[in-house]
Amino acid sequence: MPMLKDKVAIVTGASSGLGRAISLRYAEEGATMVVADVTENPIEGGKPTLSLIRDGGGRGAFIPTDIARWDDVDALISGAVAEFGRLDIMVNNAAIYTSTNLVETTVQQWDRVIAVNVTGFFYCCKRATQQFLMQEPVGETRGRIINISSQHGMVACPGDFPYGVSKGTIVQMTRQIAVDHAGDGIVCNAIAPGKIITGKPGVANDPDAIDYSRQRTPWPRLGQPRDVAGAALFLASDMATYITGVNLMVDGGWMAG
């Protein structure tokens, strides 16, 4: 039986990269997918995520969403529930970065990164939890939240001040939600990817940065979006029992070295 049969999942930032991979993996396992992003066009090129899901026989919807806007997040979750009946899994993935240190970071850059990476996650977690509390539990669980953090939330990366601070905040946000709402049957975990090769432009794919990551990662290859998608599938499934408040490293052993 598919691991997510009869589940309804929302993934933010789902048009590209990790969000795209997670959405496709969930759909393969039977989930009804709500694809949320500011644009439907993938950075990597190719068909939109929802089109690929439907090509594979899955079902879902695309809802344009800027998670930095409460009204957008409210409309996202209300729309998903109105169309599909409930919400079982909320994956908060959408994020932005500036690759600047403290002195280089402008007030505008700081405000925008925090608006998306911290306030946006707060909005999504809050609105999803409100929905979960209105639902009857399935087994022990009313709903599951999965926040995409980063190894940069665990250790500092030079010249990555706003992003690193925001991801460290997400780790603590995850723990707080897990503790506050365990009694409600709400599960909240995070995934901290290491170096994952995606179509994201900019310094993330700088050849020197890639070479450093290869040297620093014990596993003999760098990460791929499917690696994060596999972890997200486990945490979304009924296999993940008695696990909440965890920040799961998916980093090829980087943090263990």
Q: What CATH number does the domain containing 235 carry?
A: 3.40.50.720
Q: For the chain, what is the radius of gyration of the CA atoms?
A: 17
Q: Residue 211: pLDDT band by 50, 70, 90 thresholds?
A: confident
Q: Residue 201: pLDDT band by 50, 70, 90 thresholds?
A: low
Q: Which phi-psi region, left, alpha or beta, contains residue 82 (left: φ > 0; alpha: ψ -120 to 50)?
A: alpha
Angstrom distance (rounded) from CA 192 to CA 242: 19
Q: Considering the domain boundaries, does residue 62 fall inside one?
A: yes
pLDDT of residue 209: 79
Q: Considering the domain boundaries, does residue 1 fall inside one?
A: no
> Are 186 and 145 within 8 A, CB to CB?
yes
pLDDT above 90 for 202: no
User: Residues 26, 97, 163, 212: which is the catalytic one?
Assistant: 163
Q: Write down the H helix ranges in 66-198.
A: 70-84, 107-114, 121-133, 161-181
Q: Considering the domain boundaries, does residue 3 fall inside one?
A: no
Give residue-wise pLDDT tens across range 114-125: 999 999 999 999
Q: Considering the domain boundaries, does residue 183 fall inside one?
A: yes
Give the number of domains in the chain. Answer: 1
| Nearest Cα to Cα of residue 10 among 28, 32, 30 | 32
Query: What domain range is 110 assigned to?
Result: 8-252
Task: Give the sheet arrangement for strand 143-148, strand by strand.
Answer: 60-64, 32-37, 8-12, 89-92, 143-148, 186-193, 247-250
Q: Considering the domain boundaries, does residue 257 fall inside one?
A: no
- Tell me if residue 212 is catalytic: no
pTM for the whole structure: 0.95
| Nearest Cα to Cα of residue 243 among 255, 235, 251 | 235
Q: Which two tokens stand for residue 163?
A: 């992003």
Q: Considering the domain boundaries, does residue 219 fall inside one?
A: yes
Q: Considering the domain boundaries, does residue 2 fall inside one?
A: no
Q: Considering the domain boundaries, does residue 121 fall inside one?
A: yes
